[in-house]
Structure 1
């Protein structure tokens, strides 16, 4: 399950690692991985990236955290759960930008 999403994460990580001025060993060290073999396993979609490693990896490879987080969430959870998170959290935090939620019936036009 979630195989397609796993490969999307791997492709995103791989492309950004290739653009990084850091070596794979340096990236692995910054992320707290035991070795660069762990990073390679993520790049090959052999294992899924844990949620607690999204921010350190995004910082190390200088990629968009929200985009990486969204891809990783889709590799762990069904699409409807990720969409619920996007619509619930995006207005409050600006993170996980997704489709805008519709205003409630009681909301006055112009209110946010």
Structure 2
């Protein structure tokens, strides 16, 4: 169990590092100065780190753990579009999501969220 938690933490750290680097490169090339109201999705999505154990493909975790639901609420309240960015970039970051489980998160956390099908 400790080894799997360590492996999950290491994977999450690697994903976050790649995501932050990609996000920084994207902002560097697309805008000379970010607007004061822009949200850093990579930092915001970190609030949902505890959800990874539930939504990762192959996970046998049956319900969201830890601060997953409060993290989801924070993301939805701050910028729901960040969920789409996380969903769309997850595969390129080495995370294979169980989309069926990911789509159950709002109901399990008792929050309303736009459907993933709205992600263009």
TM-score by length of 1: 0.34
More helix per residue: 1 or 2? Answer: 2
Radius of gyration: which is bigger? 1
TM-score by length of 2: 0.33
